[in-house]
């Protein structure tokens, strides 16, 4: 699964969010998604991360090896 | 989830105030995120129990369902799910983690 595909999955699952995918090791595997989504406001970090994970439910089982998350409401 | 797996998870969580489901062992973590959580706990001198999910497929899948959280590592305090690697690091940096444990 490519980085643009992961980005699109998150964007489609959380309409109105902004997603930046970082690939610090340039390996396309150990990546980090920085997700900004107004509806995170008032939610716990666990709930915020669950919302992002939900958009990648199937992919997280096999295809995505290492996805770090950072979530922001604005 | 099988009842026996659920019971085993609950027993593990009761065994230590701070408990980590991880890939590998604290001495030899098998994944960067697991290593990261171990490192945070050690730096803060927080004693913890751990379970290597790579040693038990039932627990590896069971813990994801148990907490509705698709990734490992998973950190628990007093049986309560705290978060994965990123949340643990964030809470340690803000001091929240230390507060939860003290």
* Cross-sheet strand order for the sheet of A66-72: A18-22, A30-36, A66-72
Residues of B in contact with A67 (CB under 8 A): 71
Number of domains in chain A: 1
A50 Cα to chain B: minimum distance (Å): 7
In tens, the pLDDT along B18-31 reads: 999 999 999 999 99
**What is the domain-level CATH number for residue B7?**
3.40.30.10
**What is the domain-level CATH number for residue A37?**
3.30.300.90
In tens, the pLDDT along A28-68 reads: 888 999 999 999 999 999 999 999 999 999 999 888 888 99
Instruction: Check CB contact under 8 Å for A66 and B87.
Output: no
In tens, the pLDDT along B41-91 reads: 999 999 999 999 999 999 999 999 999 999 999 999 999 999 999 999 999
Number of domains in chain B: 1
Identify the burial level of B61 via C-beta atoms within 10 angstroms of its C-beta, where 0-12 means exposed, 13-18 middle and 19 or more buried. middle
Q: Does the structure show a pLDDT above 90 at B33? A: yes
Nearest to A66 among B32, B81, B83 (CB): B32
Instruction: Check CB contact under 8 Å for B83 and A45.
Output: yes
Q: Is the dihedral of CA B60, B66, B70, B75 positive or negative?
A: negative
Q: Rounded to an integer, what is the distance from CA A66 to the centroid of its chain?
A: 11
Contact in structure between B75 and B63 (CB atoms under 8 Å): no
Q: B95 at the A interface (CB within 8 A)?
A: no
pTM recorded for the entire structure: 0.94
């Amino acid at each position: 699964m490519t980085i643009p595909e992961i980005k699109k999955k998150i964007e489609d699952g959380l309409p109105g969010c902004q997603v930046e995918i970082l690939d610090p090791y340039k390996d396309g595997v150990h990546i980090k998604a920085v997700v900004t989504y107004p509806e995170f406001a008032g939610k716990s970090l666990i709930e915020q991360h669950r919302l992002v994970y939900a958009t990648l439910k199937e992919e997280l089982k096999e295809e995505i090896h290492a996805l770090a998350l950072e979530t922001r409401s604005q | 989830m099988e009842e026996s797996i659920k019971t085993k998870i609950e027993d593990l969580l009761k065994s230590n105030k701070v408990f980590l489901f991880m890939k590998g062992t604290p001495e030899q973590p098998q994944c960067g995120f697991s290593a990261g959580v171990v490192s945070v706990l050690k730096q803060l001198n927080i004693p913890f129990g751990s379970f290597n999910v790579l040693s038990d497929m039932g627990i590896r899948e069971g813990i994801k369902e148990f907490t509705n959280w698709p990734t490992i590592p998973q950190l628990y305090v007093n049986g309560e799910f705290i978060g994965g690697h990123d949340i643990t690091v964030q809470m340690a940096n803000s001091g929240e983690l230390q507060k939860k444990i003290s």
